[in-house]
Structure 1
Amino acid sequence: MKIKFSFLLLFISIATFAQEFNATVTVNAEQTGRTKLSVFKTLEGAVQDLINQNNWTDKDLESYEKIDCNFFINVSQYSSDSFTATIQVQASRPVYGSTTSTPIFNFKDNQFNFRYTEFQPLDYNPNTYSSNLVSTISFYLYTILGIDGDTFAPMGGENYHQEAKLIVNTAQGRSEGWQPNDGNQSRFRLNADFLSNNFSKYREALYIYHREGLDVMYEDVKAGKQKIVEAIQMLREVNNSRPNSILMRSFFDAKNNEITRIFSGGPKVDLTEVLNDLKRIAPLYNKKWNTIKN
């Protein structure tokens, strides 16, 4: 009986703590005009299993610590095993002391063409390129882990960004999005910027915004808001030296609603300077910034 009980505990531990993500995958094939084909639903399930049923780190996480993420694959053309598509990736992590979560990543990748045969196994091997589908999904998972790590400790996601770089190196020359000349919205550029010394202050701002800002608001809202102001001022400095970067765009694509909400109520802090910063750094969201009353 004792042996059986020990085995049961081991099984529960593995089942409960093994994976790092709570991922939802959606494949939209309306543009192909062939939505009834089973391959699209099979693809959806295969990618979701790849994410949710594999270990991506050596950490054991409680269920509430897992990263929620969404992968939206929009297929515009399909023929045989060839897919022309885009992918939108979103992720969030819990806010300490609350039941809410905060978005940490929101990114659309337009360079996502791949081959997939129905029921093809999807497995990630860090030393081997198997397909653009597996490499792209794995790349974004490690990028999300890197961002999540950066929000909990200064440069805390370094190992994960380095793992994403290994994927970039292995995939180079295989498909679009992995090379230096693939544009400013490529996977190559996203990873290179995260690992560049030019953006170390950006990553420091991620820590201040989340760990010293959001995560303290459960006990001191004003102190948390002041730290978020400080983080935005740091982002202004980064933007002054590297304007319109892929990191800055992805940050405000994820955070514009949250920032508007935080500064639109609760204890007041001086917003004169930070509102000017927001309008300069992220002018795309000026309508939202204009709704914030100082």
Structure 2
Amino acid sequence: MLRQLTLTLILCTGLLSVLHAQELDVKVTINTPTLQQADPKVFEELKAAIERFMNNQRWTNDAYQTSERIKVSIVLTVSEEYSATAFGGDLAIQAVRPVYGSTYETPLLSHLDRDVTFGYEQYQPIEYSQNSFNDNLSSILSFYAFIVLGMDYDSFSPFGGEPYFQQAQEVINTIPSSVAAANPGWQSLDGNRNRYWIVENLLSPRVRPYRQAIYDYHRQALDIMGTDVTSGRTIMVNALEQLNKVNQSYPNSMIIQMFVNAKSNEIVEIFKQGNPQEKNQVIQFMTKMDAANASKYKSIRG
């Protein structure tokens, strides 16, 4: 009887862990190529602290199975050492999404944030407080958690990521003006390629067609290519046309650059198998959105 009860408890505990798994599956790498003062063990603990923060926090009210967690890679390169506990550098973040009916994972986000400054002491926990500010590191990590969630939800339902982009905006709103002035990346005046502009673009009415196109690209095109590749490519061409229109109405927008950073290689490989009309259209659209890499898109013709 005791053995049966123990087995039942184990099964129930396992079921609860599946039903209540957190949303993100984050792997962190920390590079410290030039640091002199800080103890390397500090960064070993920082890696673990970031993973705990991102992976153990409940970011939504939805129930995720373990297999549904969003795979995220973070590479934090610490290149500035202001003191033994204050640092600067850049953060590369990538996130992927599974494609229905296949083992392929499509990139959702591939972004490099060059405006990362933070303080950290060994064994210091990183904590999240909704609607209030703790420190710059927790704010940066929370911001990107919500951006990843928003992009993932947008790819599964039209504008499904709206609540999470609004949460990312709320993270910015909680940054004290003195902190924003001392730590770049939170203000429009800091440049046109920072966290402020990511969320500004995503919530802008001018970018609504972009977000609809993102849904079409993923749910209506990629997710059907396992059974109907021709229809999938046709829908994807139409989605890229809409993205190009957003680029024309909102030139030099950060969100278009983020799209091509994440998707350019995928698009090239998909349309190498397209018909001549599709190839010409995609080359035209992508070259307008990403002129610096025009030669890459010409390779679609083979």
1:209 equivalent in alignment to 2:205: no
1:28 equivalent in alignment to 2:36: no
Structure 1 stretch 247-256 or stretch 261-270: which is displaced more? Answer: 261-270
8 Å CA contact 1:172, 1:178 repeated in 2: no
Match in the other structure for 1:168: 172
Give the unaligned 5+ runs of structure 1: none
1:52 Cα deviation after fit = 1.3
1:35 Cα deviation after fit = 8.0
Structure 1 stretch 169-178 or stretch 111-120: which is displaced more? Answer: 169-178
Structure 1 stretch 56-65 or stretch 235-244: which is displaced more? Answer: 56-65
Runs of 4 or more consecutive aligned structure 1 residues displaced over 3 Å after TM superposition? 1-7, 33-36, 266-269
Secondary structure of the structure 2 residue equivalent to 1:270 = helix
Match in the other structure for 1:8: 10
CA distance in 1, matches of 2:281, 2:272: 15
1:287 Cα deviation after fit = 2.1
Match in the other structure for 1:38: 41
1:101 equivalent in alignment to 2:105: yes
1:266 Cα deviation after fit = 6.1
1:58–1:96 Cα change, 3 Å: same
How many positions carry a matched residue from both structures?
294
1:18–1:64 Cα change, 3 Å: closer
CA distance in 2, matches of 1:212, 1:54: 31
1:269–1:7 Cα change, 3 Å: farther
Secondary structure of the structure 1 residue equivalent to 2:226 = coil
Aligned-pair identity in percent equals: 34
What residue identity is the alignment partner of 1:117?
A: E
Structure 1 residues 223-272: Cα deviation after superposition (integer angstroms, max 9, x where no partner) = 11111101100011001011121100011100011001101126776322
Structure 1 stretch 36-45 or stretch 217-226: which is displaced more? Answer: 36-45
1:76 Cα deviation after fit = 0.6
Match in the other structure for 1:247: 255
Provide the alpha-carbon RMSD of the alignment: 1.8
Match in the other structure for 1:193: 201
Match in the other structure for 1:77: 80
Q: How does 1:26-175 map to 2 (within 5 A)?
A: 26-33=29-36, 37-78=40-81, 79-173=83-177, 174=179, 175=183
What residue identity is the alignment partner of 2:262?
A: A
Structure 1 stretch 64-73 or stretch 207-216: which is displaced more? Answer: 64-73
8 Å CA contact 1:43, 1:118 repeated in 2: yes
1:40 Cα deviation after fit = 1.1
Secondary structure of the structure 2 residue equivalent to 1:178 = coil
CA distance in 2, matches of 1:218, 1:284: 32
Structure 1 stretch 174-183 or stretch 2-11: which is displaced more? Answer: 2-11
1:83 Cα deviation after fit = 0.6
What TM-score do the two structures reach when normalised by structure 2? 0.92
CA distance in 1, matches of 2:172, 2:6: 45
Match in the other structure for 1:180: 188
1:3 Cα deviation after fit = 5.9
8 Å CA contact 1:222, 1:269 repeated in 2: no
1:4 Cα deviation after fit = 4.6
CA distance in 1, matches of 2:131, 2:229: 46
1:66 Cα deviation after fit = 1.5
8 Å CA contact 1:221, 1:266 repeated in 2: no
8 Å CA contact 1:66, 1:93 repeated in 2: no
CA distance in 2, matches of 1:75, 1:47: 14
CA distance in 1, matches of 2:229, 2:277: 10
